[in-house]
Amino acid sequence: MSKRQAATANAGEGDGETATTSGRPSQRGGNASNKFNASQRKSRGDNTGAIVVSVLLAVAAIAATFWATTGNTRTRPAPPNAALRDIARQLLDPNKGILAADESPGTFAKRLGKGVPNTLTVRRQWRRTLLSAPQLEEYISGVILHEETFIHGDSDVQSAIGRGIAVGIKLDEGTVPLQPKKSGERATKGLEGLEGRCTRFRNRGGAVFAKWRAVFRVGRHTPSRAAIRRNAGDLAAFAAAAQACGVVPILEPEVLAEGDHDMQRGGAAAARVLRGVFRALRRRADVDPGAMLLKVAFVTPGQRSTEQVEPHEVANATLRVLLRTVPRIVPGIVFLSGGQSEETATSNLLALSQLALERAQAGKPPLPWALSFSFGRALQSSALEAWQRGDVAEAQVLLTRRARANALAQQGRQGKAAEMVEGVSPAPRPGLSGEG
């Protein structure tokens, strides 16, 4: 059973809240038939009819103006790309998630403790530890890598592929400030030469998917319309380039958890950003929205907010935003961990899956997309600590165990993973020791 089917079987969504890309307004039909009715009625010389006709014509004129101003932003999407949809489906295996191991050297430096030099060799050894973790392929469908891993760790990449783990390339080149600088808003670099780079990593490295990250800061005046428009346009351009090069794009418009905003404002910002992204995608005739994944943050209060929320509230707020903004043609949404602890990220994922199950039990229609995880820090933190102590085997066990906990959580299952979830005291369970 595919993950899509699993989501269909498990989840419920009945209220037609879901955004849709179908049901586009027809520009011609309504207008023409109104005119036709009008001429018929006029020929009868009926006064009441004439008034009705004027009203109809006025309505038709308003409607025509409306479609002309909003309708021209909607372009017919590219025809279904069967090969890429297939890869997306594999990435969305219901029993697996995606490991994000694509930190830039600068970001990786922040993850390392003092005393461990942030050299290419060290990073390569760490990525080799991740990619060669025993049984990782049981819980991980794909891994997102930085280009340095493709270039300097090609044997590690190829052995991951050999184990059935799809590899993806981070194609964005980080962010730069947008004007005015003090807004703290940023745009993403890397569109120049994108298709060429994409083709190289696909043909030589075996990459079958690619990622592009844009960031949005929640502040008094942000995310601004300009920042949303700019980043959404670039995400859509990336999606087109990636599909043209033959890889599945993962669009990551990340609403940052930095700030003191409450959860409601975080949700409102996420909704505005996602609307902007899908507006930009609808403008492009060269993107198949059924052959991409969306990567987003859970909707939470800002890190400096005093608001306390439980995972089930995070799940509710997150799903609410997604149901209102993400078209049902999108096959899957994967969550980033964005600095959340391993336990918190797993708890939020579990709460979201359980909410989907509850909705199904309440008779609501299924969620239109599969939900999964694409964590970086929330999969690597404990493992990286063990590794820095010099314990490679322990690091690999911790990574695989955390991947398994998330794989279970995304199916709404806590099971043996109870001890991996925040707020649940570890109970001794027979058979738990030695697993992983």
Ligand X SMILES: *[C@@H]1O[C@H](CO)[C@@H](O)[C@H](O)[C@H]1NC(C)=O
Q: Find the catalytic residue in 252, 307, 364, 394.
A: 252
| Residue 10, helix vs strand vs coil | helix
- Cβ proximity to ligand X, 160 vs 319, nearer residue: 319
- Cβ proximity to ligand X, 316 vs 325, nearer residue: 316
409: which 2 tokens?
Answer: 């959580």
Residues 328 and 368: beta-carbon distance below 8 Å: yes
Q: Torsion angle, CA of 408/411/415/419, rounded to 10 degrees?
A: 50
| Residue 290, helix vs strand vs coil | helix
**Least Å distance between CB 421 and ligand X?**
20
**Least Å distance between CB 313 and ligand X?**
8
Task: Based on the residue annotation, tell me whether 364 is a catalytic residue of this protein.
Answer: no
Does the protein bind ligand X through residue 167 (CB under 6 A)?
Answer: no
Does the protein bind ligand X through residue 320 (CB under 6 A)?
Answer: yes
115: which 2 tokens?
Answer: 């005393």
How far the first Cα of the chain sits from its last, in Å, is 24
- Cβ proximity to ligand X, 7 vs 355, nearer residue: 355
Q: Find the catalytic residue in 13, 103, 295, 342.
A: 295
Does the protein bind ligand X through residue 319 (CB under 6 A)?
Answer: yes
- Cis preceding linkage at 223, omega within 30: yes
With a CB cutoff of 8 Å and minimum separation 6, the contacts of 162 are none
Distance between CA atoms of residues 249 and 214, nearest Å: 13
Query: Scanning residues 340 to 369, which ones bind ligand X (CB under 6 A)?
Result: 355, 359
Residues 297 and 263: beta-carbon distance below 8 Å: no
- Cβ proximity to ligand X, 277 vs 367, nearer residue: 367
Distance between CA atoms of residues 162 and 171, nearest Å: 23
Output the CA torsion sign for 135, 136, 142, 143: negative
Q: Quick count: other Cβ atoms within 10 Å of Cβ 146?
A: 20
**C-alpha radius of gyration, the chain, whole number:** 24
Residues 166 and 91: beta-carbon distance below 8 Å: yes
**Least Å distance between CB 98 and ligand X?**
24
Distance between CA atoms of residues 147 and 102, nearest Å: 8
**Least Å distance between CB 215 and ligand X?**
25
Does the protein bind ligand X through residue 316 (CB under 6 A)?
Answer: yes
**Which range of residues in 101-109, 131-139, 314-322, 428-436 is near ligand X by CB under 6 A?**
314-322
- Cβ proximity to ligand X, 240 vs 319, nearer residue: 319
- Cβ proximity to ligand X, 41 vs 320, nearer residue: 320
**Least Å distance between CB 326 and ligand X?**
13
**Least Å distance between CB 316 and ligand X?**
4
344: which 2 tokens?
Answer: 């918190």
**Which range of residues in 89-97, 247-255, 273-281, 312-320 is near ligand X by CB under 6 A?**
312-320
Give long-range contacts, CB 8 A cutoff, 24+ apart: 160-166: 160/131, 160/132, 161/206, 163/136, 163/137, 164/137, 165/131, 165/136, 165/137, 165/140, 165/141, 166/87, 166/90, 166/91, 166/141, 166/142, 166/208, 166/209
**Which range of residues in 282-290, 319-327, 370-378, 408-416 is near ligand X by CB under 6 A?**
319-327
**Least Å distance between CB 321 and ligand X?**
9
**Least Å distance between CB 359 and ligand X?**
6
- Cβ proximity to ligand X, 85 vs 364, nearer residue: 364
Task: Based on the residue annotation, tell me whether 252 is a catalytic residue of this protein.
Answer: yes
- Cβ proximity to ligand X, 140 vs 409, nearer residue: 409
Q: How many residues lie near ligand X (CB under 6 A)?
A: 6
Does the protein bind ligand X through residue 215 (CB under 6 A)?
Answer: no
Residues with active-site annotation:
252, 295
Interface residue list for ligand X (CB under 6 A): 316, 319-320, 323, 355, 359
